[in-house]
Homo-oligomer: A and B are copies of this chain.
Amino acid sequence: MKDIQSQLDSRRINIKKVGVKTVSYPITVRDKAQKRQHTIGTANMYVNLPHKFKGTHMSRFVEILNEFRGEIDLKSFSIILEKMKDRLEAEASHLEIDFPYFLQRKKNGEEQKRGLYKCSMHGSLEDEDTLKLSVEVPISLPITEKTSQRLPGLMGKWGKADVHVRFGQFFWIEDIILLVEKAVEEELTDLSTRERKQLSVEALTLRVGTSLKGIEAIKWFSVTIHNFGDDCSTFATMESGRDIA
């Protein structure tokens, strides 16, 4: 690594970030119903380096991840960020893990459809650490048999909700999924009494946003509702923070 280092010393330009992308791992995440669930995580890890850059050891990123052997939860998330900042002598460290999450629904004790939801956790450690959870909730219609009767609709993929939250206390992924589904159901109930029965991305964004606002544990959120069409999709986004709003 000697020659890289000397080279970097001679030019005075700032390397802003270095890291690794798409490291895949079997991981376990917390699950409200089953306590723990096995899934697969795909991680990006990177650090901001101080101006006086001395060459990085890329292998250290994967070494740190290896030490946790897939047992990654909120606590290990923080420790990984600290180890990255420490061992790479960095100004800031960042960890992003994408993973599919399965929600097993039951009805009268019987297992129903098992939905897959794309989730991710993004953490940063600079002066203080921040953590953001993202969940993508598909919106297919009709949601329930009741919706189906009220609006003799045609099943299909209407769109999706992208929800991002920063929270003060632990918050279940399940609860975000169910919150979105409840909001869609309520919006459909309201629509059934109106002349114009079209679900609008703006109205649904506001409904989900209002629900998220009511949750004490959430410090900040952003929600985007997408409606898929064949030529293009439409979307609306809102965000809100306890400190801002």
Which A residues are closer than 8 A to B by beta carbons?
A: 1, 3-4, 7-8, 11, 13-26, 37-40, 46, 53, 55-56, 58, 62, 66, 69, 100, 102, 111, 113-116, 138-141, 151-159, 194, 196-203, 205-206, 209-210, 213, 224, 226-240
Residues of B within 8 A of A24 (CB): 100, 102, 114, 116, 231-232
Q: Chain B: which residue is nearest A233 at the CB level?
A: B21
Q: Is the CB of B115 within 8 A of A228?
A: no
Known: A3-B194, A114-B25, A213-B13. A235 touches B18 (CB 8 A): yes
Q: Is the CB of A141 within 8 A of B116?
A: no
Known: A156-B159, A206-B13. A22 touches B233 (CB 8 A): yes
Residues of B within 8 A of A228 (CB): 140, 156-157
Residues of B within 8 A of A46 (CB): 235
Q: Chain B: which residue is nearest A199 at the CB level?
A: B154
Q: Chain B: which residue is nearest A239 at the CB level?
A: B16
Q: What is the bound-complex CA distance between A20 and B232, given in angstroms?
A: 7
CB distance from A166 to the nearest CB of B (A): 16
Known: A21-B226, A21-B232, A138-B230. A206 touches B15 (CB 8 A): yes
* For the complex of A and B, 10 pairs with smallest distance between CB atoms: A156-B158, A38-B38, A140-B230, A138-B230, A23-B232, A24-B116, A17-B237, A157-B228, A18-B236, A152-B197
| A37: contacting residue among B16, B26, B37, B141, CB under 8 A | B26
CB distance from A165 to the nearest CB of B (A): 16
